[in-house]
Structure 1
């Protein structure tokens, strides 16, 4: 246990030192730490921020998903930002669920969604598993997790330390805290592995990198799914490692937004061209692009990620039907391989 003045220095997690935990803070091995307050102010007051519309309705109506999808079928429905409904092997899995209007510690201020969720909360099927990749407010929304717990009591899977944050709000929830390299087993041969990604964490100004961040690999009888909530490209290191460990992916869910300005965002958010490279490095047959056109976090315009993705697919020789940037309410029935 790490102490300073009789108090634990990490409010979320106490555990042994590892190749990505120094006893107080988590870090990206051979990677980059997030930039500090001075650089944040330089970005915030440096101009160049594109204007987003206050509302940007999706071309797709809210989806009404089936209760279950079985056999060799795999269906992904975009809800918004990094929130996806994955239906496979009779399981309903939600990633980083956010139904709140703002991704902020405050209900009256902070980034606000410009499009309604692609599935109305009351139209959700029974949720079995919730994956929370890290604790930034656009990924860990306690208000939504409380609603899901009340409705279905799903099994929450999240990296080390985030379980403490969630349990403070939902003391009796079913939750598993996982380190990189851990694996959980579920019914019918489904497993979930926690894998590295290049990111960071914070809920406030004094808890930077005190909870872990992760990607997940969902292995099912219908194929493998690689889900990343947020990541910097990091020279493709984590993509190559995922391919070496897990082999072929039927689907990868990859972020393509919140990447400008590059000097500030490069270490934490890949851009669309890097996402296409990542797709190829991890050996993903299909990709669902997410983390765009829902809330404005960074400088690029609302339409820029899709335009940049289309350009990158052309330049890298990838068929556009293999990498789909999903809009709220859009349903992707992933072809078999």
Structure 2
């Protein structure tokens, strides 16, 4: 994530064909999170760190070594068909889930590339293959993009999905410009926080606030919005947080107030060390458990760990820290699982 952004300026020029300095993706009236040029978090938390802080972090030498590969015991899922009732969710890897709900197959932040980077041979690499091979995917009805960082918006995968299935792509404001710069034929529905799109009769997705930031180059910081999503279909509700810090917790209590039944919360639990650098933009497992309680969700799955090494913690630290956070609050471990690629949850 951070490392790929620091070297991404030239790649974006080739990717979008836009002259340097002309990277504004969205034009619209100011709001409580948009100043007319850039988006921001209303409480001004979650702002990206500067180059000096990045260098301070990377020179500390605290980065833990990950074993390569780090295979999942659930690899090779084959998601054929639908459960007649209920909800089924499979982690593909990092922030990519296949959600089957209301007769629809929905992907979140789909990344099937080997690296989360603008470059094919540089940047964070996969430590395990996707939990579902691309060719084993069912027909995809909708794709949700939370924000434009390379570990969440993979244009190569988006293009493959569009050519194969023509899914309904939904993203926060401004991200359509990035996708259409790759292929102008790709249709994208953009939403502001609080807006909703219809995916099918009886199935909707709402964009909800997240505490984060956006950039794909050195000169497009916060020119596109970031968001989480709430999917509602046939009486079932799934919340996908995207990338977010915990902040004061109001994001999660606000979502719970607007969506009083959340059957499944998909919450990030990785990429959180060191805390002085990451706390405002990435939750750690303890933050995620606090968010889970505020959401009043029935079940949670933890993601954003174990596939791309973005920060300092060891590969297996997130599930260990999650277990401690759940035990401290007397929450059964079965209610909040640290998901692995290919792992299936049904409910």
TM-score range, shorter chain: over 0.9
Shift of 1:130: 0.2
Moved more, 7-16 or 82-91: 7-16
Shift of 1:24: 1.0
Q: Which runs of structure 2 are paired with 1:227-246 in the superposition (5 Å)?
A: 227-246=240-259
Cα RMSD after superposing both structures: 1.2
- State the partner residue of 2:330: 317
8 A contact 2:262–2:297 mirrored in 1: yes
Which of 40, 61, 75 is the equivalent residue of 1:27?
A: 40
Q: Distance in 2 between matches of 1:105 and 1:61?
A: 26
- State the partner residue of 1:333: 346
**Counterpart of 1:312 in 2: which secondary structure?**
helix
Which of 70, 78, 97 is the equivalent residue of 2:91?
A: 78
Q: Which runs of structure 2 are paired with 1:99-248 in the superposition (5 Å)?
A: 99-248=112-261
Question: Are 1:46 and 2:97 matched, yes or no?
Answer: no
Q: Distance in 2 between matches of 1:81 and 1:252?
A: 15
Unaligned runs of 5+ in 2: 1-19
**Counterpart of 2:98 in 1: which secondary structure?**
strand
> CA offsets per residue over residues 125-161 of structure 1, 9 Å max, x none?
0000000000000000000001101110101000001
> CA offsets per residue over residues 89-108 of structure 1, 9 Å max, x none?
10000000000000001001
Shift of 1:46: 1.5
- State the partner residue of 1:55: 69
8 A contact 2:21–2:219 mirrored in 1: no
Shift of 1:189: 0.8
The count of residues paired between Structure 1 and Structure 2 equals: 327
Question: Are 1:298 and 2:280 matched, yes or no?
Answer: no
8 A contact 1:67–1:126 mirrored in 2: no
Shift of 1:31: 3.0
- State the partner residue of 2:300: 287
> CA offsets per residue over residues 59-81 of structure 1, 9 Å max, x none?
1131000233443x100001000
TM normalised by structure 2 equals 0.92
**Counterpart of 1:193 in 2: which secondary structure?**
strand
Unaligned runs of 5+ in 1: 1-6
Q: Distance in 2 between matches of 1:270 and 1:321?
A: 20
Q: Distance in 2 between matches of 1:67 and 1:276?
A: 32
Shift of 1:172: 1.3
**Counterpart of 1:149 in 2: which secondary structure?**
helix
Q: Distance in 2 between matches of 1:187 and 1:164?
A: 24
